[in-house]
Amino acid sequence: MLELNQCYNMDCMKGMAQFPDGFFDLAVVDPPYFSGPERRGYYGSKVSKIGVYRDYPVSPVWEIPGRAYFDELRRVAKHYIVWGCNYFSYEFASGRIVWDKCKKGTSFSDCELAATDLFNTVRLFRFMWNGMLQGKSVAEGHIMQGNKKLNEQRIHPTQKPVALYDWIFQNYAAPGCRVLDTHLGSGSSRIAAYEAGVDFIGFEIDPIYYAAEEQRFLDYTSQTSLFHLT
């Protein structure tokens, strides 16, 4: 059995198979919606900060999740939040979360959409995420962080801000509940889960992103424990 509060370098389908029905209270997932190499130009060039010098995407081929994945996700988790729901043909419940990235005039989407069965309305979260332009905080996400040195470091081409997951867990996950992220990427969800005091498991299939995510999490927790000591 895999352990809570650990992340694993493995295919999420193999990971989820190890859990009984309804083990997780909430799954917050962000699966790839394109298969990889043929969309090479999609991300631009490189992200470099912690030595991840490579063109994107890097995995040989990402399998776009289909019905088997979403059925399995719903088997192991009582509730779900699925980012990129507009790219998947699956009968999601009617709740939606809109993340407004507070950017205009680029060729990329202004917003991202998640489907959820937690409610049947539409909720909005605003947090600036446009290259070096990043939001200030969960409460003032539409205002630009004044000091770029305090910006969140980016280690993954489709990294979502920790603040987005902070907002999700503050609103939809009680401390001590069990949360799953099947497609960890940079591990932003893991950092927010740690802060929220929820029990967390994540999977990442790419060994290089997995290693980068592990290092990011280690750096984050060692910095915050130092902060708590001083």
Please report, as ranges, the residues that interact with ligand SAM according to CB under 6 A: 11-12, 30, 32, 59, 62-63, 156, 158-160, 182-183, 185-186, 188, 203-206, 209
**Contact status, residue 35 vs residue 190, Cβ threshold 8 Å:** no
Among all residues, whose Cβ is closest to ligand SAM? 185
CB of 161 to ligand SAM, least distance (A): 8
Distance CA 62, CA 79 (A): 25
CB of residue 202 to ligand SAM, shortest distance in Å: 9
To the nearest whole angstrom, how small is the minimum distance from the Cβ of residue 68 to ligand SAM? 11
Q: From residue 205, how far is each of 9, 22, 51, 191, 211 by CA, in Å?
A: 5, 23, 19, 19, 11
* Residue 68 or 226 with smaller CB distance to ligand SAM: 68
Q: Nearest approach, Cβ of 69 to ligand SAM (angstroms)?
A: 8
Which residue lies nearer to ligand SAM by CB, 64 or 133?
A: 64
- Taking the CA atoms of 35, 41, 46 and 47 in sequence, report the sign of the dihedral they define: negative
In angstroms, the CA 123 to CA 119 distance is 9
> In terms of CB distance, is 11 or 100 closer to ligand SAM?
11
What's the CA gap between 69 and 72, in Å, rounded? 5
Least distance (Å) from ligand SAM to the CB of residue 171?
18
For residues 116 and 182, which CB has a smaller minimum distance to ligand SAM in the complex?
Answer: 182
Asked, as a colleague might, if the bond just before 57 is cis with ω within 30 of 0, I would say: yes
Closer to ligand SAM at the Cβ: 145 or 158?
Answer: 158
CB 228 within 8 A of CB 68: no
